[in-house]
Amino acid sequence: MTAYWVSVYQEIRDEQKMAAYSALAGPALKAAGGRIIARDLPAKVYEAGIEQRVVIIEFDSVEAATAAHDSPAYQEALAALGDGVEREIRIVPGV
């Protein structure tokens, strides 16, 4: 069953750290089987929606998404990011 890694960025504090993270994270997650399907500010928000950057990455399974997060390559990206952002990451099973 597919799974979706959903990142919501409440605040980007350091653009340089974000750029360093992106340069490492994209290749690491793609190498782990991730397919980026959305990445940007919302085109429209409704109800209690907040205009924050969202990234959605599709994986073949929850296990694959979790393994991607825990991989040494992605951990290197996280180290580069440090405290450069405030965000949430959720791994959600597909239906």
Domains and CATH numbers, the chain: 3-93 (3.30.70.100)
The reported pLDDT for the residue numbered 47 is 96
The reported pLDDT for the residue numbered 6 is 98
DSSP 59: E
The reported pLDDT for the residue numbered 24 is 98
The reported pLDDT for the residue numbered 87 is 97
Please give the average per-residue pLDDT across 4-28, as a whole number: 97
Q: Give 65: exposed, middle or buried? Use CB within 10 Å, 0-12, 13-18, 19+.
A: buried
Query: Angle at the Cα of 39 (from 41 to 93), degrees rounded to 5?
Result: 115
Please give the average per-residue pLDDT across 14-43, as a whole number: 97
To which residue do tokens 């991989």 refer? 71
User: pLDDT tens digits, residue range 56-74?
Assistant: 999 999 999 999 999 999 9
3-state SS, residue 7: strand
Please give the average per-residue pLDDT across 29-46, as a whole number: 97
Which residues, in sequence order, are bridge partners of residue 53? 9
